[in-house]
Amino acid sequence: MRGLMLSKITSWVLFILLSVLAVVQLLPLVWLFFFSLKNNQEVFNLSPLAFPTEPKWENYVTVWTQGNINTYFFNSVWITAASVLLTVFVASFVTFAITRMKWKWNKLVLGLFMVAMMIPIHSTLIPLFSFYTTIGIMNHPLALIITYSAFNLPITIMILLGFYYTLPREVEEAAIMDGCSVHRLFFTIILPMTKPVLATTAIINMIYNWNEYVFVNTFISSDRFKTLTVGIQNFIGQYSTDWGAIGATLMISIIPILLAFFVLSNRIVEGITSGSVKG
């Protein structure tokens, strides 16, 4: 009886602690939402968590129609999507070749990808700038897609490796015995089996690509190809700054990430845990 009571008390304490932690995690989102509905005067005079006296919903309309945010938003969407798809598929090819094929430079190639994780991203800005200028893709989305894919490949491969090693080889052996080619084996059997971990790597890549600032600011100068992270600068002037518009832009930029996480959350957890236990 005493043990049961202690267990209930422990559960309630844990529940309260987790609830408090959840509220603390949500506070920045609530603050940003209230911030996006205020004018400059209310931003500085009201409490950060105070709801504005007259919510300025027009901040969202202004940034979408007059601040060119619609262009930046769609640029962020398609550049992020293209980069994620390229990274995930190339990483899947590499991981399949490393874990399922026997060839001479297998371990060396894997080692090179892992070494790439230790290269500081910003140390490559000048070489990449020079290289992209030479081949003529500066101020073009292709510069961002190639860069994002290259820098995300190592971590994506590392996550996929743990999952691929747990896949039963009996399924592949049976498919090969039935005359299945390597390409068909990968696309019809292996790739569908790795959906959980692909969702995990996709959301990780999406978060990085969506929030990335330095490469966009360095490689893209035209408003036609800028993304949301640099588009926010349009509302920062030399003499005045529209803080409400900045808040509305930040809210717009957060919504796709939240939606993607809620939709893929079960897949993410499944992908992380499935590769942790072998067998």
Q: Residue 11: how many CB atoms within 10 A of its CB?
A: 10
**Residue that the structure tokens 């993410």 belong to:** 268
pLDDT in the model for residue 279: 43
Sketch the domain layout of the chain as residue ranges: 1-56, 66-274
Residue 105 phi/psi, 5-degree rounding, is -100, 25
Alpha helices, DSSP H only, in 136-278?
141-164, 169-177, 182-185, 191-193, 195-211, 214-219, 228-231, 243-274
Instruction: Give the model's pLDDT for residue 239.
Output: 45
**Site of tokens 């942790």:** 276
In this structure, the number of other CB atoms found within 10 A of the CB of residue 16 comes to: 10
Closest CA to 127 of 113, 108, 143, 103: 143
**Pick from 161, 148, 145: nearest CA to 91:** 161
Per residue, what are the HEC states of 29-40?
A: HHHHHHHHCCCH
Measured CA to CA, the distance from residue 137 to residue 142 in angstroms comes to 7
pTM: 0.82
For the chain, 279 residues long, give each residue's pLDDT as a single digit of tens: 666 777 788 888 888 998 999 888 888 888 889 888 888 888 888 777 788 888 888 888 888 887 788 889 999 999 999 999 999 999 999 999 888 888 788 888 888 888 888 888 888 899 999 999 999 999 999 999 999 999 999 999 998 988 888 888 888 888 888 888 888 888 888 888 888 888 889 888 998 899 898 999 999 988 889 898 888 777 666 445 778 888 888 888 888 888 877 777 666 666 555 544 444
Helices 141-164 and 195-211, packing angle to 10 deg? 150
CA 254 to chain centre: 11
Q: Which CATH number fits domain 66-274: 3.30.470.10, 1.10.3720.10, 3.40.50.300, 3.40.50.2300?
A: 1.10.3720.10
